[in-house]
Structure 1
């Protein structure tokens, strides 16, 4: 896909990885349609995209709410005319141990609310946005690509039963959609980042950040733009579909 003038929807597009993706794709001439719950962050990212000379728009929506997702994708097509790509980037964490116990007594368990919040945003949100994007691509005759953001935690990570399950599910969706949607000229791909230097990570206590970095063979956290670069690769490579790219500095959980 040549990204010039292509409409690329990015969820969680207001800040962090989403902002890096929006700016990286805007530099290639794409038109970002950014979805987020934070209107102030969205407006700031849109402003940065406009400074690069491309059209960009902000949409406030909850990716875990079906009616909200349907409405926002209707609005995007109404305003841009088509959707050529989707990056399912929105995600949250609610980390907790599955079970905590001491001396044979269970002291704490991951709550159902902690489970549901992460599954709702990180998995159901990907399903809803992917379904609406594919629907619009088919209805408008726009062949396109869906990129889902997974994580190396999909292999299982302590304290992340909910997050790991969701990110493993994202990969399963990616593979399934690649097989089902190929007939319509729609590709899918996934990216599994390791530890990336977003604002949240870089605000960790220095000793905690140093300890985390020491375990990465590359001896550093990744840059948000390095994930954005992987997103662009999947969007631009028309023979890439149904696979996962790990961008983790050789770290394997």
Structure 2
């Protein structure tokens, strides 16, 4: 798929990896439909994409709400007349131990609210946006690509029962959708980032960052631009489907 003039929707596109991927794709000539809950962040991201050389529009939407997702993708269709790609990037963290005890006494348990909040955004949001994007692509007769952003934590990570489960699930969706949607000319792929220098990571203490980097075989934290490069590679290689690309500096070898 050629990125030039392609319309690509990105959830969580107002900041972090979403914005970084959007700017990278905009520089390659793509048109971005950025979806986020924060209007001010969307405005900044749209301006950055335009400065990078591509067109962009922002859409305020809670990806966990079916009616909002349907309205948002209808608006994208109305605004651009087509949809060529979707990056399911929106996600949240609510980390905590499943059960925490001291001297045989339970001090804290992961609450159902903490579990459900992560599932609503990280899993249900991916399902809703993926379904709506596929619907639009099929109705338009547009060949397209859906990319799910997973994580190396999908293999299981201490303190992340909810997050790890959600990221394992969206990885499974990649394989399922690749098999189901190929007949319509739609590919599905996934990216599993390791530790990436987003705003949240960059705000950590230097000693914490150094300790984190020391555990990575390449001895450094990944850059957001490297995730954008991976997304562009997926869009442009028409024989990639049903697979997960790990961008983690060899952490999971």
Q: Output the TM-score relative to the length of structure 1.
A: 0.98
Shift of 1:53: 3.3
Note the C-alpha offset of 1:239: 0.4
SS in structure 2 at match of 1:29: coil
In the TM superposition, structure 1's runs of 4+ consecutive aligned residues that sit over 2 Å from their partners are none
- 2:160 maps to what in 1? 160
Counterpart-to-counterpart distance in 1, 2:122 and 2:49? 26
Deviation at 1:58, TM superposition (A): 0.4
Q: For residues 159-180 of structure 1, what are the alpha-carbon distances to aligned partners after superposition, in whole Å with 9 as ceiling and x for unaligned?
A: 0000000000001111000000
1:2-81 equivalences under 5 Å are 2-81=2-81
SS in 1 for 2:192: strand
SS at match of 2:26: helix
Aligned to 1:9, the other structure's residue is in SS state: strand
1:215 aligned residue? 215
> Aligned partners of 1:14, 1:249: CA distance in 2, in Å?
26
1:104 is matched with which residue? 104
Render the CA deviation track for 1:86-136: whole Å, top value 9, x for unaligned. 000000000000111111111110010100010110010000000000000
Number of matched pairs = 253
Match of 2:137 in 1: 137
**SS of equivalent to 1:5:** coil
List runs of 5+ in structure 1 lacking aligned partners: none
| Structure 2: gaps of 5 or more residues | none
Q: Deviations over 1:36-92 (max 9, x none)?
A: 011111101101111233221000000011000000000000000010000000000
Q: Deviations over 1:10-60 (max 9, x none)?
A: 000001101111111011110000000111111011011112332210000
Report the equivalent of 2:196. Answer: 196
**SS, match of residue 42 in structure 1:** helix
Q: TM-score, normalised by structure 2?
A: 0.98
- 3-state SS of paired residue (1:46): helix
Aligned-partner Cα distance in 2 for 1:219–1:141:
45
- The secondary structure found in structure 2 opposite 1:8 is strand
> C-alpha root-mean-square deviation of aligned residues, in Å?
0.9
Question: 1:4, CA displacement in angstroms?
Answer: 0.6
Deviating more after overlay: 98-107 vs 172-181: 98-107
SS across alignment from 1:208: helix
Does structure 1 retain, via aligned residues, the 8 Å contact 2:28–2:54?
A: no
Report the Cα distance in structure 1 between the residues aligned to 2:53 and 2:153, rounded to whole angstroms: 37
Partner of 1:246: 246
Corresponding residue SS for 1:118: helix
Q: Which secondary structure does the structure 2 equivalent of 1:159 belong to?
A: coil
Shift, 1:248, TM fit: 0.3
Work out the CA distance in 1 between the residues paired with 2:232 and 2:183: 22
Residue of structure 1 equivalent to 2:146: 146
